[in-house]
Amino acid sequence: MTLEVRDLRLAYGAREALRGISFDVNRNEIFGVIGPAQSGKTSLLKCLNRTIDQVAGTTLSGTIRFDGEDVLRLRDVFSLRRRIGMVAPLPVGLPMSIYDNVAFAPRCAGMHHRADLDAIVERCLRQAALWDEVKDRLPSLGTALSGGQQQRLTIARALSHQPEVLCLDEFSIAIDPVTTMRIEDVLRELRGEMTIILVTNLVQQARRLADRTMFLWNGEIVELGPSSVVFSDTPASRRTYEYVNGIFG
Amino acid sequence: MDAIAPPVTRFARTPGVARRERLQAVAKWVFFTMALAMIVPLVAIVVYLLVQAAPSLNWEFLVEVPKKGMREGGIWPAFVGTLYLVAISLAIAAPIGVLAAIYLNEYSRESWFNRVINLAVINLAGVPSIVHALFGLGAFVYAARFGYSIISASLTLAIMTLPVIIASTREALASVPMSFREACWNVGATRWQTIRAVVLPNSISGILTGVILQVSRAAGETAPIMFTGAVFFKAVQRGDWFPYRLGDQCMALSMHLYTVSTQVPNVRESIPYATAVVLLGSVLLVNATAIAVRVWLRGRKKW
Per-block mean pLDDT, blocks of 10 residues, chain B (303 long): 66 85 94 92 91 86 80 85 92 94 87 86 88 91 89 93 93 93 92 93 89 87 87 79 83 88 83 90 87 79 57
Chain A residues lying within 8 Å of B114, measured CB to CB? none
Q: Give A143's contacts in chain B (Cβ within 8 Å).
A: 302-303
Please list, in sequence order, all residues whose beta carbon lies within 8 angstroms of the beta carbon of residue A36, skipping any fewer than 6 positions away: A217, A243, A249
Mean confidence (pLDDT) of chain A: 91
Note the pLDDT of residue B110. Answer: 76
- All residues of chain B having their beta carbon less than 8 Å from the beta carbon of residue A79 are 188
The answer to whether residue B178 neighbours chain A at the CB level (below 8 Å) is: no
> Please, which residues 44-83 of chain A have a Cβ atom closer than 8 Å to chain B?
49, 51, 54, 56-57, 78-82
Helix (H, G, I), strand (E, B) or coil at B130: helix
Q: Residue B117 CA to chain centroid, in angstroms? A: 22
**Structural domain contains residue B82:** yes
Q: What is the pLDDT of residue B125?
A: 85
Tell whether B5 is covered by a domain: no
**Distance between CA A34 and CA A44 in Å, rounded?**
12
Within-domain flag for A249: no
Pair B31, B162 in one domain: no
pTM, two decimals, is 0.83
**CATH code of residue B114:** 1.10.3720.10
| Interface list for B 201-220 with A (CB within 8 A) | 201-202
Residue contact B182–A85, C-beta within 8 A: no
B185 and B163 together in one domain: yes
Shared domain for B191 and B245, answered yes or no, is yes
Contacts of B161 (CB under 8 A, 6+ apart): B89, B90, B93, B97, B214, B217, B218
Question: How far apart are the C-alpha atoms of A155 and A89, rounded to whole Å?
Answer: 11
Asked if residue B113 and residue B47 are part of one domain, the reply reads no
Distance CA(B64)–CA(B77), nearest Å, equals 8
pLDDT value for B301: 61
Sheet (strand A84-87) strand order:
A84-87, A165-169, A195-199, A30-34, A212-217, A220-226
Residue A62: CA count within 13 A, CB half-sphere: 21
Domain membership flag for residue B7: no
> pLDDT class for A8, splitting at 50, 70, 90?
very high
Give the closest residue to A215 by CA, choosing from A233, A195, A196, A201. Answer: A201
Given this model, what pLDDT does residue B268 score?
83
The SS3 of residue B165 is helix
Does residue A80 sit within a domain? Answer: yes
pLDDT at A198 over 80: yes
Buried/exposed code over B57-83 (b: 16+ C-beta within 10 A; e: otherwise):
beeebeebbbeeebeebbbbbbbbbbb
What is the reported pLDDT for B3?
63
Q: Which residues, listed in sequence order, are joined to residue A4 by a DSSP beta bridge? A: A24, A65
Identify the three-state secondary structure at position B9.
coil
Determine the Cα–Cα distance for residues B81 and B241; give it in Å rounded to an integer.
10
Name which of B110, B183, B188 is nearest A94 (Cβ-Cβ): B183
> Is residue A154 a part of any domain in this protein?
yes
Residues pairing with A225 in the sheet: A213
- Establish if A23 belongs to a structural domain: yes
CA distance A98 to chain B (A): 12
Quickly count: other Cβ atoms within 10 Å of residue B97's Cβ: 27
SS3 content of chain B, % helix, strand, coil (to 5): 70, 0, 30
B133 with B215, same domain: the answer is: yes
Q: Is residue A9 part of a domain?
A: yes
Cβ neighbours of residue A41 under 8 Å, at least 6 residues apart?
A33, A34, A35, A169, A199, A216
Whether A143 and chain B come into contact, CB under 8 Å, resolves to yes
What CA–CA distance (Å, rounded) separates A175 from B183? 18
Same domain, B70 and B103: yes
Q: Which helix (H) or strand (E) holds B67?
A: strand B66-67
The verdict on B87 and B161 lying in the same domain is yes
> What number of H helices and E strands is found in chain B?
12, 2
What mean pLDDT is predicted for residues A105-129?
Answer: 92
Q: How large is the average pLDDT for residues A67-78? A: 90
In a domain, A34, yes or no: yes
Task: Classify residue B80: in a domain, yes or no.
Answer: yes
In-domain check, residue A185 = yes
Q: Does B114 touch chain A (CB under 8 A)?
A: no
B214, B164 Cβ separation under 8 angstroms? yes
Number of compact structural domains in chain A: 1
Domain-located, residue A86: yes
Q: Are B162 and B97 in contact (CB under 8 A)?
A: yes
- Nearest CA-CA partner of B78 in A53, A100, B86: B86
CB neighbour list of residue B107: distance below 8 Å, 6 or more residues apart:
B191
Q: Which residues pair with A86 in a beta bridge?
A: A167
Neighbouring residues of B179: CB distance < 8 A, sequence distance ≥ 6: A88, A90, A92
Compute the nearest-CA separation of A149 from chain B (Å). Answer: 16
Q: Specify if B64 maps to a domain.
A: yes
CA nearest to A95, candidates B203, B57, B260, B39: B203
Buried b (16+ CB within 10 A) or exposed e, B271-291: bbbbbbbbbbebbeebeeebe
Are the beta carbons of B183 and A92 separated by less than 8 Å?
yes
| Domain housing A130 | 3-244
Residues A15-37: tens digit of each pLDDT: 999 999 999 999 999 999 999 98
Q: Which residues contact B25 (CB under 8 A, 6 or more apart)?
A: none
Please give the span between the terminal C-alpha atoms of chain B, in angstroms, as a whole number.
44
- Count of CB atoms within 10 A of residue A183's CB? 22
pLDDT for the residue A119: 94
pLDDT exceeds cutoff 80 at A188: yes
ipTM reported for the complex, 2 dp: 0.89
Domain membership of residue B123 as a residue range: 59-299
**CA–CA separation, B10 vs B8, rounded Å?**
7
| Strands in chain A per DSSP E | 3-12, 15-25, 30-34, 58-66, 69-70, 84-87, 165-169, 195-199, 212-217, 220-226
Task: Give the residue among B239, B251, B157, B172 at the shortest CA–CA distance from B207.
Answer: B172
How many Cβ atoms from other residues are within 10 Å of residue A241's Cβ?
A: 17
Residue A45 pLDDT exceeds 90: yes
Q: What is the pLDDT of residues A120-171, one digit of tens each?
A: 999 999 999 899 999 999 998 888 898 889 999 999 999 999 999 999 999 8
- Nearest CB neighbour to A108, from listed B182, B193, B302: B193
Tell whether B79 and B207 lie within a shared domain: yes
Which CATH number goes with the domain that contains A222?
3.40.50.300
- pLDDT score at B290: 82
* C-beta atoms of B302 and A109 within 8 A: no
Total domains present in chain B: 2
Do B21 and B124 reside in the same domain of the chain? no
Give me the amino acid identity at B246: L
Question: CB distance B179–A92 less than 8 Å?
Answer: yes
Whether residues B31 and B68 share a domain: the answer is: no
Q: Is B23 found in the same domain as B143?
A: no
Q: Considering only CB atoms, which chain A residues are within 8 Å of B205? A: none
Pair (B64, B49) in one structural domain? no
Per-residue model confidence (pLDDT) at position B238: 79
